[in-house]
Amino acid sequence: MTPLNIVILAAGKGTRMYSNKPKVLHALAGKPLVQHVLDRATELQPQQICVVYGHGGDAVPQAMQQFAAKFVVQEPQLGTGHAVQQAMPHLADGSDTLVLYGDVPLIQHSTLHQMRQAGSGLVLLTVNFANPTGYGRIVRNEQGDVLSIVEEKDASAEQREIREVNTGILLAPTKMLRGWLSKLQNNNSQGEYYLTDIVSMAVQQGVAVHTVQPSNEWEIHGINSKSQLAVLERTWQLVEAGRLLVQGVTLADPARIDVRGKLVCGRDVEIDVGCIFNGDVSLGDNVKVGAYSFIRNSTIAAGTDIAPYSHIDSSEAGANCHIGPYARLRPGTKLHDGVHIGNFVEVKNSEIAANSKANHLSYIGDSTVGSRVNIGAGTITCNYDGANKHRTIIEDDVFIGSDTQLVAPVTVGRGSTIGAGSTITRNTPEGELSLSRSKQTTINGWKRPTKKVKGET
């Protein structure tokens, strides 16, 4: 197959977004619009990706620096044809060039592959709209051959009745594209160099013009306003929900789930309403996710039950764990099988071994917790001394009473018990009861302060 170049046009200001941020950096499904396009471009393994940017200074190249792409500035912005011209010095002849748009984020690999298979010459991606308002029309002759593309502002009343429209996405031999671009004129109502004018040039030269249509209309929807962004966001989330349903996932309401990344599910997974999945998330067989939970870049093993309003970030949970409600697992957390993390318990950068429990109102940070440990309500690990973090080690079969403070660095020995209300500052011996409590005192005659009435001194 002919080597491929890809040009992504991303220079637009996005005036109707009413934002200081470049339009292509607004997010859909958790990542910038242009990143969606760069991901699709990368899948095609081109020899060169060239991103043409403009408004927002260097914000676009800085945000997308993880991609091996050439970033070229378009200044001033004189139309789509002018934008592609900026990329041409970086593209080698003997290849094909695919033109994509940074504000058309949902174009699919299958559609782009179909374009590459369409034949030699110029390939246009078109679509038939019931309401084509705002789009350039595909003009054909009586035999059905493409003659030209007419922008709506320059179209006659008859041409505006045409339902087949140009998406702007095209594929052309690089050498031919270079020649056509050099002949572009800006004698139109906008005073711009239209990329679409190359179609009539190709026809005049006898170059074959092929058309391909996407499998889904939403693939070619562009973003020009926050309302369009919101509509396309929900469109995509329904697509993602449909994919999960086909795979056998039970969704309480397909209209109330957000997948902002990649969600992989095993068999018999159940997801309640309002859940958000961000980044790379894996849910094993028989996992249940309660309503309004948030999971990011985490792996949840089979049989684990996540109760509502839980927040799990960059963590691992083993099989048959119980998490929440209102639990928070922060980055670096690893739960082994059968662990219980209950309501209003926060765990950070800690490993908790099998069958241990922290069921109520506790903070476990920078800790290593053994198996079969019971952590009572209100227990905290005091891991920060104001300058440095220190680690707490709780060995197997420890019972920690409620309202305990473990001042790190400290080790609680295997099988030991910590009495409720203790502040532990030294290592505790195995198998013994350790506690620290001041003597109970009663102050006779003491009275609570009363609230002052306004105006009193």
The residues that are catalytic are 360
Residue closest to 320 by CA, chosen among 294, 346, 349, 356: 356
Q: Which amino acid appears at position 353 of this protein?
A: A
**Residue 65: alpha-carbon gap to chain centroid:** 17
Residue closest to 74 by CA, chosen among 49, 48, 50, 44: 50
CB crowding 17-46: b at 16 or more within 10 Å, else e: beeeebbbbbebbbbbbbbbbbebbeeeeb
How far apart, in whole angstroms, are the C-alpha atoms of residue 109 and residue 211?
A: 17
Question: Token match 């070229």: residue?
Answer: 72
In the chain, what is the greatest distance between 2 CA atoms, to the nearest angstrom? 105
- CA 44 vs CA 110, 112, 351, 354: distances in Å: 10, 8, 40, 44
How far apart, in whole angstroms, are the C-alpha atoms of residue 200 and residue 209?
A: 10
Backbone angles phi, psi at 159, to 5 degrees: -65, -30
**Two structure tokens written together for 189:** 């109502």
Beta bridge partners of 146: 140
Residue 28 CB-half CA count within 13 A: 30
Judge whether 391 and 408 are in contact, CB under 8 Å.
Answer: yes
**Two structure tokens written together for 432:** 């013994």
**Two structure tokens written together for 21:** 């941020």
Q: Which amino acid appears at position 160 of this protein?
A: R
How far apart, in whole angstroms, are the C-alpha atoms of residue 255 and residue 239?
A: 10
